[in-house]
Chain A
Amino acid sequence: MFVHNPFAALPASIPPIAKQIYVAVMFLLVVCGTLFDLAHKGSASYFFRHRRVVSFGARRRVSTGEATALAVETLVVSVLGAGEFCGMWRRITHLLTMYGFVLYVLTTAIMVFAYPTTAAPGPAVVAELWYLGALLVCIGGYWFWFLQRVDVAAEGQSRFRLVRADLFVVSLLASATFALIWAGFQGAGSDVWANVFFGLYLLASTALFASVPWSKFAHMFYKPAAAFQRRIEHANGFRGNLPAPADRPATFGSARRQPQNY
């Protein structure tokens, strides 16, 4: 059940080119959605205006070599290591969801473009990684959704409340969940149910990629840029107007506990 390539096993009435066009369109929706979001909100303009303000308040120049090192650090720590999350468990769910999503999307593209037919469904490992990716998204995503969302955990809102901020994670979870169910029915030979969940999977995935201008999707691109900018600011002395760390040994421990909320 977890070995077959579900895209190849779709009815022959759907030609490979249709699947490929769909994936390409989804990719374009993300690119255009992000660019539209930037242009419409003017967030890129804000970002560059802020850089000008920082350059006036900077105390020293950051060399190209230094900036490159900071960029690498941003990539490794903030992006690959989800270092923008201050809480350990929230970091973990984000890593699960992030790597799951990357696996899920990449293997989808590989299967759709390289192995779109049952004649050559491709190596089993590709499909296995697709399943794993979707599973990781579900584990990290549902954990986050039910237990960690700050509006639930800190504010006391209902776990089942839906607001616009949920658009990205809900459509992502729906896509991954319906994908697994669809592939499961398909592998078991229940064609009617497989078609139903394939339809739902398509709806959810389209919603996920088409809603980029309205959801938090594009923040996965903005956050690394902001993290890099922050490192530059700490290096050039602007520090966002924050004071420098005190020159004192750290010997008092910390009272910082996870928020007790209520």
Chain B
Amino acid sequence: MPTFVYMTSCDGCGYCVDICPSDIMHIDTTYRRAYNVEPNMCWECYSCVKACPQQAIDCRGYADFAPLGHSVRVLREEEKATVSWRIKFRDGREKNFVSPIRTTPWGSIKGPSEYAPPTAAAMSSQELAHEPEGLKVDVLPTLARSRLKKGLV
């Protein structure tokens, strides 16, 4: 289901161009609005659909196998940390879903530099950051070298 852009809703802001992992959202030279230049490299990841502030981008299932008349639209509301989906079948029946997308405020992640610097002992150990507490066990597991045997067992 490659994406397409609604002519009257797109205001040429460039969010979709910026976010597309496939680099296929580009700007039309007649209207200076966005469009999908390479639908056969579109994964239908919906990154552009979710990013568009005007909800100007929608998806139509791949022509190879998706009959027309369906709709799967999304409203990703960062401020509420929710994503809402509205699925409309070709025969008209509808399904709606809402899910959380985050439990903490955007931008609130504690950067690694904000933790106390690692000790030399930690550096020379096998532990990664926030271990062993982060594992919620007392000690990072390890193996005795003798436990690894070469060949068929």
Q: Which residue of B lies closest to A50 (CB)?
A: B8
From A241, A242, A255, A260, B107 is in contact (CB under 8 Å) with A255
> Would you call A254 and B26 a contact (CB within 8 A)?
no
> Would you call B84 and A246 a contact (CB within 8 A)?
yes
From B26, B32, B78, B102, A165 is in contact (CB under 8 Å) with B32
Q: Which residue of B lies closest to A214 (CB)?
A: B30
How far is the CB of A150 from the nearest CB of chain B, in Å?
4
Q: Which residue of A lies closest to B96 (CB)?
A: A243
Report chain B residues within 8 Å CB of A243.
73-75, 84-86, 96, 98
Residues A150 and B12 in contact in the complex (CB < 8 Å), given A241-B88, A251-B79, A252-B106 = yes
Total residues of chain B contacting the partner, CB 8 A: 44
Task: Please measure, in the bound complex, the distance between the C-alpha atom of A253 and the C-alpha atom of B77, giving whole angstroms.
Answer: 10
> Would you call B29 and A252 a contact (CB within 8 A)?
no
Most B CB contacts (10 A, CB to CB) among A150, A166, A219, A250 go to: A150
Q: Which residue of A lies closest to B55 (CB)?
A: A242
From B32, B86, B105, A251 is in contact (CB under 8 Å) with B105
> Would you call A255 and B106 a contact (CB within 8 A)?
yes
Residues A149 and B11 in contact in the complex (CB < 8 Å), given A155-B26, A253-B107 = no
Q: Does A164 contact B (CB under 8 A)?
A: yes
Q: Does B68 contact A (CB under 8 A)?
A: no
> Would you call B81 and A252 a contact (CB within 8 A)?
yes
Q: Does A223 contact B (CB under 8 A)?
A: yes
Report chain A residues within 8 Å CB of B88.
241
Where chain A touches its partner, the secondary structure class is loop
> Would you call B18 and A154 a contact (CB within 8 A)?
yes
Report chain A residues within 8 Å CB of B34.
150
Residue-wise, chain B 50-75 has the 8 Å CB interface mask toward A (1 for contact) of 00011100100000000000010111
How far is the CB of B103 from the nearest CB of chain A, in Å?
9
From B11, B30, B31, B85, A84 is in contact (CB under 8 Å) with B11
How far is the CB of A248 from the nearest CB of chain B, in Å?
4
How far is the CB of A251 from the nearest CB of chain B, in Å?
7
Task: Please measure, in the bound complex, the distance between the C-alpha atom of A261 and the C-alpha atom of B13, giving whole angstroms.
Answer: 11
Report chain A residues within 8 Å CB of B105.
251-253
Report chain B residues within 8 Å CB of A256.
53, 78
Q: Can you sample 5 A-B contacts with CB below 8 Å?
A: A149-B12, A157-B27, A241-B58, A251-B79, A259-B14
